[in-house]
Structure 1
């Protein structure tokens, strides 16, 4: 059984790992985690920790770790599908049926008519050879004189008007229609002229499989007489109020729409005359086509191994950018961007950019997208806003600015934190207390939309306070003698400590490091202190820093020296930079200590678990490097 990743994610989201493991292991809350004796190896003192926020468990002893699915597979020695069936019934999320897809994708093809001779048509006699003469020396009727049915002794003679009906597949039908539209393009001078006017070359037209739908109101029915039922299921043939069938797309250039697997699932049609409304028509939703779950250009961008992803407005923007060597542009299919669209892009890369027009409508769309995106901004995700000049789309902007300047403008697109600040302050006097207060009040409304378990809401609040001139950040007071230590090497552990002091809420990135850092290291002491006090941290970023410094006062001299050497305040000036840096140091240190532990494991079980973790971590680091 193939279980889609989004179904697995839904099941994990609805499963409380603390409750699930608590049924098998006696757990006790200790700081940020729940701990108990590990069920996978014998031990007397608890080293098994469960993290509710991360839906993750980890044993400090044997290094067993994973999510709820892995726990049930290992504890009961069961396979993946069996565990998923149990969790499915517990969470109420249905798993896909094995034969469901094939049934809903089929339709009945109409029977193919076979030509039959007319009953009134003259029959041409068979000419006998001229030298042979038929001789009959008995009464032919004698053979059947006493028979009721003279034909009973013979096999009945069957005539067929139709070949038996067959099952059709919607994906196959869509592919055939796409090829049909492609073949029509060379027959239309106006369609070819439209693409030439938009600057598209032959290779681009072929790559995107662009085509043309003829003017004829029944051209699809004529081209696919056996597949009318399938075409109606796809919405490509409609029925008028008077009961007459007609084609949805007529006299339009055609943009085939492909899903993530490259299958044609629908079409977009653009009118050749701008006076015709609507200018664009898309296939309606069907069994294979769901506009809210698809992005035009996603398949093509992945095929060209795009790394950076940019959401633009329309088909032609995507195509023009690809022709200019900017891969990874996508567009929604005539709908506003939604949660599903953004999640699709975040699965390609944790950093995405959205383009908007600079006019009032573009600003309104940007605000709407912002409110949709904020709940999705888990730690490590980064969103940028590319505001286009008025009356320009990406294609026209490239032609005006040139490709190099366009790429520079794209790279300079503001981060979400900068965009939000500009957006909220554009109509406020931030030199006055009242203006600052109004900005912070509106910011609080937006940050409430951010995930509660992440650190970004705290980072964003602190960033606004700094820009508006609230308060003064903590800086270590050092003697001149201490600042002369130029030759001291700054380790990755020191940068991690500096980040934790400056941004205590980023501890959530580092907490799993407690399983690896040797207990004598300063970082280990800091992490253990943060684990105990994290739930009591003040919401205010600056107060949280003071709170942590007070809790770590035993190590104040070492911390002050680290803060001076790392200059972390400059490195984490933007919330996104702080979050990114924390993630990179957390992953790098985890890899370092995993490799150290693998050199001298305590048991074969620990060695196996460590190697499994290292493999997963290496993949994660590799994906971040690619992005």
Structure 2
């Protein structure tokens, strides 16, 4: 199987500074790769099987039943033939384990016995300071857990029992308890310096000369961890009555609540492998879902989802699912998240929205009905563009034309907020299509008309029947002025049309008139707006048919008069043709009977009918002449 592996692609990393200020040179990175046995590193989390000179496994980055993921120690890279993922030891730690680049390098260097480049003094001080704060937070985690198991933690344990959070969840998430009291944690963590406890957010320093006091008192304590699983902050939930119900650590040198996602360290690898990331409102929802077997759930920390948090989610999956309560407040929160996402959307990256049953949060759902109840609730998600469109549409009364015009303008403005030009163009088309689906021509009708127009515009002139050209022109005109359809419904329904696509075009128009008698929007314009025709035809479409009313700039009164005249002309031509067919049959019968006189009389009448047909077609031609001047 070794021969099946692709040629190695060198992972190129620019020269970087370590957190301590030292330089990571390409030579250092190359030596690090050389000293790292890739199969051993990956084998810690992936079950590898020997396959010749390589190892194979089911890919950790996507679901598969047969192994297509290969690890080559000699070349120092892995490759999946199923999803195309490819990389070295550093990339595996960043992509599979969610580690920042520098943390991945440090972990590999420690395992390989390599010293990181020497830092400058200021950077070393910052690194030592961060390390000290992490040590304080980890020590606090241990102390909070001890308090949960102690006498003072009885109420907190009862609360957890009531929520159905058992021993496994308590251990996995490091849940603890902060006892009531203003001076409990500092003595417990001695000899940690008071200044570090303040800087880590565990103590509050009052203004003036007041003594620092505990930030978290009488609260269930949940550690907030970074991507490496290190405690960097806490969330506290009040046990009894009191406000605020939830209290998070303040921003610190370790913790930025706008960039951190609760449970990223545990959920990130699961989300990458499952291809699904779920965002819920609170950390207790995350823990309840995890306990129910849904491990890819995360939560923001007391704020609406930020652009930085969206970027972290998009590094895991292309379309994270955001869960909101199905009531009005939940829908408004979903819309705010969608609007905030527009400037940072990129091709292939989006958000999807799951509206939960009103009054039910994820914790309620899994407690009442297990994981299946939650999976059912998020099975039908709403795309970002649809959520924004519905919110804009439902914000005003759409009965009046000026309100519909205002909606279209608001949708165009919303699409323009997309930071990527391609995404902005596609959102404008998507919004336009949704608008026409509600207030104009439905997608099936637009596609039927577009298909017929495409055939008409691309068929060689030598294959065109003159009458079909006039039928095409009539249908095109009715598509531009649909209010005329109802006025001529009987004539249109009875008109024989041999060409199958033209007949479907006519049926789409008639059906639309029955469905929505007040329909007045230009179907051709809606087709062009939603890009149902190739771009070249969008430019040259109107050149294929010669009638002035086919052009958008044509005057409405004259154009509609010409369309009505063309309908009358085609109906008259149909009656003449039917009369001519009847005379032809009578002439054949007279010839069979040997009645020469009757045959001559019928032929004279047939000649008159043919002359009348020619005059009718000439009249149709004259309808297509443009006004001079």
Q: Give the alignment's TM-score, normalised by structure 2.
A: 0.51
> How big is each residue's C-alpha offset from its partner over 1:578-611, in whole Å with a ceiling of 9 and x where there is no partner?
xxxxxxxxxxxxxxxxxxxxxxxxxxxxxxxxxx
Match of 2:141 in 1: 178
Match of 1:206 in 2: 171
Match of 2:239 in 1: 272
SS at match of 2:290: helix
SS at match of 1:349: coil
Structure 1 residue 345: Cα displacement: 0.7
SS at match of 1:382: coil
Structure 1 residue 397: Cα displacement: 2.3
After TM superposition, what 4+ stretches of structure 1 lie above 6 angstroms from structure 2? Answer: 550-553
Match of 1:468 in 2: 438
Match of 2:341 in 1: 373
The equivalent position to 1:388 in structure 2, one of 350, 356, 379, is 356
Whole-Å Cα distance in 2 between the matches of residues 294 and 539 of structure 1? Answer: 44
Match of 2:390 in 1: 422
Structure 1 residue 475: Cα displacement: 0.8
Structure 1 residue 282: Cα displacement: 1.2
Structure 1 residue 248: Cα displacement: 0.9
Match of 2:366 in 1: 398
Structure 1 residue 303: Cα displacement: 4.4
Match of 2:216 in 1: 249
1:261 counterpart = 2:283: no
Whole-Å Cα distance in 2 between the matches of residues 98 and 464 of structure 1? Answer: 58
SS at match of 2:261: coil
Match of 1:195 in 2: 160
Q: How does 1:552-571 map to 2 (within 5 A)?
A: none
Higher Cα radius of gyration: 2
Q: Please provide the CA RMSD for this pair.
A: 3.3
- Seen in structure 2, the aligned counterparts of structure 1 residues 338 and 431 have a Cα distance that, compared at 3 Å, is same
Match of 2:185 in 1: 220
Is the Cα contact below 8 Å between 1:254 and 1:269 reproduced in 2? yes
The equivalent position to 1:299 in structure 2, one of 265, 281, 287, is 265
Whole-Å Cα distance in 2 between the matches of residues 462 and 99 of structure 1? Answer: 59
SS at match of 1:292: coil
Structure 1 residue 411: Cα displacement: 2.0
- Seen in structure 2, the aligned counterparts of structure 1 residues 402 and 182 have a Cα distance that, compared at 3 Å, is closer
Match of 1:104 in 2: 126
> How big is each residue's C-alpha offset from its partner over 1:169-207, in whole Å with a ceiling of 9 and x where there is no partner?
211221111111112211011111111111101111100
Task: Count how many residue pairs are aligned between Structure 1 and Structure 2.
Answer: 348
Whole-Å Cα distance in 1 between the matches of residues 147 and 257 of structure 2? Answer: 26
Q: How does 1:569-588 map to 2 (within 5 A)?
A: none
Structure 2 gap segments, 5+ residues each = 1-14, 20-101, 103-118, 460-525, 545-629
Structure 1 residue 453: Cα displacement: 2.1
Is the Cα contact below 8 Å between 2:389 and 2:431 reproduced in 1? no
Structure 1 gap segments, 5+ residues each = 6-80, 82-96, 108-166, 483-537, 557-627
- Seen in structure 2, the aligned counterparts of structure 1 residues 168 and 316 have a Cα distance that, compared at 3 Å, is closer
> How big is each residue's C-alpha offset from its partner over 1:418-460, in whole Å with a ceiling of 9 and x where there is no partner?
2223222224444653443232122122111113421422432
SS at match of 2:298: strand
Whole-Å Cα distance in 2 between the matches of residues 100 and 307 of structure 1? Answer: 41
Match of 1:20 in 2: none
1:230 counterpart = 2:196: yes
Structure 1 residue 316: Cα displacement: 0.5
> How big is each residue's C-alpha offset from its partner over 1:117-143, in whole Å with a ceiling of 9 and x where there is no partner?
xxxxxxxxxxxxxxxxxxxxxxxxxxx
The equivalent position to 2:290 in structure 1, one of 322, 326, 331, is 322
Whole-Å Cα distance in 1 between the matches of residues 167 and 419 of structure 2? Answer: 47
Whole-Å Cα distance in 2 between the matches of residues 279 and 272 of structure 1? Answer: 8
Q: How does 1:531-546 map to 2 (within 5 A)?
A: 541-542=529-530, 545-546=533-534
SS at match of 1:294: coil
Structure 1 residue 217: Cα displacement: 2.1
Whole-Å Cα distance in 2 between the matches of residues 98 and 540 of structure 1? Answer: 61
Whole-Å Cα distance in 2 between the matches of residues 550 and 375 of structure 1? Answer: 29
Is the Cα contact below 8 Å between 1:384 and 1:413 reproduced in 2? yes
Q: Give the alignment's TM-score, normalised by structure 1.
A: 0.51
- Seen in structure 2, the aligned counterparts of structure 1 residues 544 and 197 have a Cα distance that, compared at 3 Å, is closer
Match of 1:450 in 2: 418
Structure 1 residue 250: Cα displacement: 1.5
Match of 2:319 in 1: 351
- Seen in structure 2, the aligned counterparts of structure 1 residues 223 and 550 have a Cα distance that, compared at 3 Å, is closer
Structure 1 residue 367: Cα displacement: 2.2
1:549 counterpart = 2:525: no
Whole-Å Cα distance in 2 between the matches of residues 225 and 433 of structure 1? Answer: 72
